[in-house]
A and B are shown apart, each in its own frame.
Chain A
Amino acid sequence: MKSEKYFTPVITLVPGFRFGNVFYIITIILVLLTVVPQITFSQNDKVLFELSAKKSLMGTEFEITVVHSSIDTGKKAMYYALREVERIEKVTSNYKDTTEISYVNRNAFGQPVKVSDELFNLIQRSITYSKNLDGLFDITVGPLTDYWGFNSDHPIETEPDKKIIDSLLHFVNYKYLSLDTTNKTISFLKNGVSIDLGGIAKGYALDKACDVLKKKGVNNFLINGGGDIYASGLKADGSKWKVGVKNPRDENKLLAVMEITDMCVATSGDYERYKIINGKRYHHIFNPHDGFPSPFSQSASVITQTCEEGVVLSKYYFIMGYEKIRSSDYETSYPYFIVDSEEKIHYNNLIEDYKLILYR
């Protein structure tokens, strides 16, 4: 009988409960204050795990950091995200003979080559970027990238030959690509044309990896593909991710830090792949119009919603340089941060929304 009395308080208490009875209210609050933290403590919802994984893919280092309450979920999500990048590398890499794009480059002159929907759509979007960016982004730079060799194990060793470069420019123009949207085929209109997706594939792969992470139940993560970074959700303490901009002439130092969530910070820099020949720096971001490394910037970072857009636009901002960007519509289109060839820093008002902190 005693136990019945003790363990049925809620049922017996409610009918007799009077709102004016301060004693009951205070006692219930005290009980709740004592007991609820214990229940919370035992469940320990606040324990979160930070996991990282990295892998060399697409000629660079992909690194993922996730914050999740389950180690297993985090591990699996990272594993599948890196596998997705690996899969895309097998479609888009020029440096493996077995990839789909290599097959296209070998066979597409004069005859339509059927390709996967994924590759077709990627090339189609690349052409749209080329049109919108006045040809300063162009995936037909294959002959030029081969000549400079920055993406291979054999970068150029001697002064570049302008005559050779001029001759290669005859094969560089996105208009030499013919796409059949009905049959999903691609053909080259000129012999010697070669597609290089290096300027877009990494961004696309980052976006796809983000999709995989989210589908696997991970929403708070940072993914870095060779300096292009997507920050999703928040850090464990509820704050936004902090993304730094490197000093192009001293990679050990940061020039600035921004707070990012659900956005990509993509950076093109002349410090990533370069060769100094007779005191002059030749780097891998060249202007498709003249075939030479663009001389106006040391680095250009843009903040965009997708990494694909980010990697394309950061090259465009880099090649254009600050002076041309400031007098174009792109001054107010995207948050940007440019270090010009004289190491001067330029950024627009839009980037201040990301709590930009300058370190010099």
Chain B
Amino acid sequence: MKRRSFLKLSGLVMAAGALTSFSKVNAFSKLVKGTTENFSLEAIVKNPDYAAKLLEEFAKSGNLYNGLIKYSEYPIIGEVTGDLVFVSDNRLIDYTKSYDDISVQLREIRSKLSLPANLKNPVRIRLYKNNNDNISKLFVTQKGNIISNINPSIDDSYTYHGKSGKVVIKVNGGITSVTESECKHQICKKMNSIKNAGDYITCIPNELHIFAE
């Protein structure tokens, strides 16, 4: 191979590589406008295994974040609207109208999951990354099912009933704690209050679990 041909070929390969890189970054930037400090890709679905597979493929295609992504999965009791929701840096991303690669992929996933739809007793799955400890959501589960979604910024008390009796949860100034429980050992009352995303309180006798995201 002559030096000229070799140079041409090398130039083409490098240009192709650079363009691929540019197009990916550009498409992602377009969607989330640069930073990926925090994101949440959440789907409420009837078929969590299939949905998790699709979201995993999406994440691995380099579209979310090149590092550790947290995954959670909880069943929801009752009838709710199932959908695919993408939040980046606390902004809801409307992928339904844009034509960049990522929006198109998210629309495909949504379509494959037959969303949006009214679903009875669905499962909520979520891929997310939190770089701060701020609580955006507070959930209560019983026997592993989400039974309540509490607004962590409104001071209020909530009462639940389990096998051992009543449990009262109080949200006060962004801090959530169990203030009353009719269980024997009262461990839930002694557990840490919920102050940051990731904190939780569990009442084993009543099978209640309160956690913050």
Contacts and interface: CB of A to CB of B under 8 A. Distances in A.
Task: Give the one of A35, A71, A153 with max B CB within 10 A.
Answer: A71
A61 B68 contact: no
Taking residues whose C-beta sits less than 8 angstroms from the other chain, chain B's interface range is: 35 or more
B1 A13 contact: yes
Contact of A46 (B61, B66, B207): B66
A60 B10 contact: no
Interface of B: 1, 3, 5-10, 12-14, 16-18, 20-21, 24, 49, 52-53, 55-56, 59-62, 64-73, 127, 144, 164, 184-185, 190-193, 202, 204-205, 207, 209
Contacts of A55: 144
A9 to B, nearest CB: 6
Contacts of A273: 185
Given A27-B7, A155-B185, 13 more contacts: A6-B9, A9-B1, A28-B10, A31-B10, A31-B13, A34-B17, A35-B16, A44-B59, A47-B60, A47-B66, A60-B204, A72-B53, A251-B190
A168 interface: no
Interface of A: 5-6, 9, 12-13, 16, 23-24, 27-28, 30-31, 34-35, 37-38, 41-44, 46-52, 54-56, 59-61, 67, 70-72, 74-75, 153-155, 236-237, 251-252, 273
A50 B68 CA distance: 7
A273 B190 CA distance: 11
Contacts of A5: 1, 5
B184 to A, nearest CB: 5
Contacts of A251: 190-192
A47 B57 CA distance: 10
B204 A16 contact: no
A52 to B, nearest CB: 7
Contacts of B21: 37-38, 41
Given A38-B21, A251-B191, A44 B6 contact: no
Given A12-B1, A41-B24, A52-B72, A46 B67 contact: yes
